[in-house]
Structure 1
Amino acid sequence: MSLWRETRGSGPDLVLLHGWGLSSGIWGAFAERLTAHYRVTLIDLPGLGRSAPAGDMSLMAVVDALLDRAPEAAHWLGWSLGGQLALAVAERAPERVRSLSLIAANPCFVARDDWPCAMVPEVYDAFVASLDGNETRTLQRFTALQTRGSTTARDELKRLKSVLAAAEPQALAPALRLLESDLRPALAGLNIPLQLILGAADQLVPVELATRAEGVNSRLVVHILEQSAHLPFVSHSEDVLIMLNALISEVDSVDAAR
């Protein structure tokens, strides 16, 4: 599996992973701001953006491909599906993840009997089924859900539509299936600095996740941004930058003192 990668800027290594149906282009100006302080590595997920579709789209195969393209030791930032994958990376190779920041990500995206703070299985299954011959309509519905309730919904929708065009239709369903992974055990076992940033108005990752996630790992620091939906790094970019910088600075300071 060969994944497209681009590295920009200088400073501590920081890997950015995007969400479903999109590419690294979704980070836009947010990534550019990060390059002033970090050596940013952008990776497109299989079949999305500039990465070719992969025959094996199992979670572990994708994780191994990400590790092949990532720096030896880096801070990781994952949004939505990218957050789940970053969580899986941290579980598989904790020595390569200096800190983990999750944005609008759920360790168990599809609801279970013991995890109601997630997408209802019937809604998720409907998304999967609608991809068969209706990719455009499905993506349009998905983008609408991501922006609903945000104070910057119009700007977010414009950004999403400009990046969606890069998605390979044949890669959408296998990538969506990755969201079925239950990574709560991965979150529970992590012993690295980590944080979760949620939008209070998010229609895909409910804010009720906060308490549940904290119960899985007491090291997890949760931030909730009011009037933000599924793209806090667009609607509240300054707040997200402050949170990210604070976590990374704390880790780097501890490392420097050793």
Structure 2
Amino acid sequence: MLFSLFQRLAALASLALLAMGGWFVWSWWRLREILDPLPGDLIDTQDWRLWTGGALIAWSFLGRIPVGLLLGRAEDDGARLKRLPGVTLETADGARLHVERSGPPEAPVLIFVHGWGLDAGVWWEARQMLADRYQVVTYDLAGLGRSTPPRDGKYSLDRFADDLMTLVSASCPRKVILVGHSIGGMTVQTFCRRYPETLGRQVLGVVLENTTHTDPMRTTVLGEALHAVEPVVKPLMRLDIWLQPLAWLLNWQSYLSGATHLAMRFGGFGTTPTKAQLEQVARAVTRNSPAVQAKGNIAMMEWDATEALPEMRIPALLFIGGSDIVTVPAAGETIARRMPQARPVHLEEAGHLGPLELAEDYNRAIARFADEIFTRGARSADIASVSPAEEEGTIRARRPPQEPRHYM
């Protein structure tokens, strides 16, 4: 939610930079016209105006290159910008979800739900670290990435949960753990409320990353102040719907200038991201439809799962970022208190995009959690069914060697 506000402010700042550059060039040109009739030794065309204006205009269209170099660290993860081919799964409301699967087809399933404005590409590290042991399923939320919107163009958390149920059903009879980041965590909570019959049967556990239990406007760093201006924010969001071409043009100009990268760096990350991570996030929030993002933001403002948390009696791993200003730690702590089997993991350096910047910490904890949940109740005879070659391909360092590899 706060990401959208950061993005819009960045776009307006970038537009102001471009306008200022244009004004300097125009003022230089007008000055030349005025001074042309005068004798040459009296003319001062103030060429600094031309150079200043030209530099500002150039930055407005090329600034993302130096900004990316300054704000991101070098890392060998450029492959994250390439998407897997995937398959298409149609939902009951007509949305066509782009779904990507990695890992052993017979293994238990981890279904990852990304944050709003992003796409399934952000789970690159999760696939790298977890797909040798489990089947990792990632997908683009309806209307984002390569997924299409529902037929009627309407958005709600209930619909996102229904879409998630479509993926859970497609994984049957294999057991599943649901992993949700930000709005993905809100979607997982809504799923638990709408489909309690699946909990403990097919869905054996959930992982909630940097998420909230209520209207995210209430649980940002600005808290109730932002919530108080929701009557103003909602009409502004609807402007993005009605004026989508203009909003998209502003977003792209902001992306080219590097203003979007700047907003994502300081709004989303608690540590220094890699250049590819920063580019991936900035590119996603720019490519994705402003109208779709606005509809999702409005849906989040009308959502609350606080009272339902005590009924979600299922093992839950809960990540809380100490440097998260989009979803403050107090939101995660409330979930930890109210959800009976929640296990909080506090990561003081993690910003809202902790699953990217501290991917190793997040995914290592998820691997341990999944190992425990999926092997619970395994029979000792199952050990004989695991060949040495199979065992060699598992994440052996993340569980005791004597535990059996058991697919349920």
Give TM-score, length-normalised by structure 2.
Answer: 0.56
Alignment pair present for 1:77 and 2:176: no
Return 5+ residue gaps in structure 2 as ranges: 1-93, 380-407
Q: Which residue of 2 aligns with 1:87?
A: 189
Q: Which residue of 1 aligns with 2:27?
A: none
Partners of 1:27 and 1:245 in 2: how far apart? 14
- Determine helix, strand or coil for the equivalent of 2:204: strand
Alignment of 1:177-256 (within 5 A): 177-180=298-301, 181-256=303-378
C-alpha deviation, 1:35, in angstroms:
1.1
Equivalent in 211, 230, 233 of residue 105 of structure 1 = 211
User: CA offsets per residue over residues 204-231 of structure 1, 9 Å max, x none?
Assistant: 1111234322221232111111211011
Equivalent in 278, 285, 289 of residue 168 of structure 1 = 289
Alpha carbon RMSD of aligned pairs, Å?
2.8
Q: Which residue of 2 aligns with 1:61?
A: 159
Partners of 2:335 and 2:306 in 1: how far apart? 8
Pair 69,217 (structure 1): closer, same or farther in 2 beyond 3 Å: closer
Partners of 1:117 and 1:193 in 2: how far apart? 28
Partners of 1:246 and 1:231 in 2: how far apart? 21
C-alpha deviation, 1:127, in angstroms:
5.8
C-alpha deviation, 1:185, in angstroms:
2.6
C-alpha deviation, 1:81, in angstroms:
0.6
Moved more, 189-198 or 157-166: 157-166
Pair 162,191 (structure 1): closer, same or farther in 2 beyond 3 Å: same
Q: Which residue of 1 aligns with 2:390?
A: none
Alignment pair present for 1:158 and 2:270: no
Q: Which residue of 1 aligns with 2:99?
A: 5
Equivalent in 110, 114, 121 of residue 18 of structure 1 = 114
Alignment of 1:140-159 (within 5 A): 140=260, 143-144=264-265, 146-152=267-273, 156-159=277-280
- Maintained 8 Å contact 1:26/1:163: no
User: CA offsets per residue over residues 67-113 of structure 1, 9 Å max, x none?
Assistant: 1133234111000111100111122224142110011111114356x
Partners of 2:222 and 2:343 in 1: how far apart? 19
Moved more, 141-150 or 175-184: 141-150
User: CA offsets per residue over residues 7-40 of structure 1, 9 Å max, x none?
Assistant: 2112210100011111101212332322111111
Moved more, 76-85 or 144-153: 144-153
- Determine helix, strand or coil for the equivalent of 1:100: strand
Q: Which amino acid aligns with 1:97?
A: V
**Higher share in helix:** 2
Rg larger in 1 or in 2?
2
Partners of 2:269 and 2:101 in 1: how far apart? 32
Moved more, 158-167 or 197-206: 158-167
Return 5+ residue gaps in structure 1 as ranges: none
User: CA offsets per residue over residues 217-256 of structure 1, 9 Å max, x none?
Assistant: 2321111112110112222111111211121111112242
- Maintained 8 Å contact 2:178/2:203: yes
Q: Which residue of 1 aligns with 2:123?
A: 27
- Determine helix, strand or coil for the equivalent of 2:376: helix
Partners of 1:52 and 1:142 in 2: how far apart? 27
C-alpha deviation, 1:165, in angstroms:
4.1
> What is the identity percentage for the equivalent residue pairs of Structure 1 and Structure 2?
23
Partners of 1:117 and 1:108 in 2: how far apart? 14
- Maintained 8 Å contact 2:157/2:300: no
Pair 184,81 (structure 1): closer, same or farther in 2 beyond 3 Å: same
Partners of 1:158 and 1:17 in 2: how far apart? 20
Q: Which residue of 1 aligns with 2:140?
A: 44
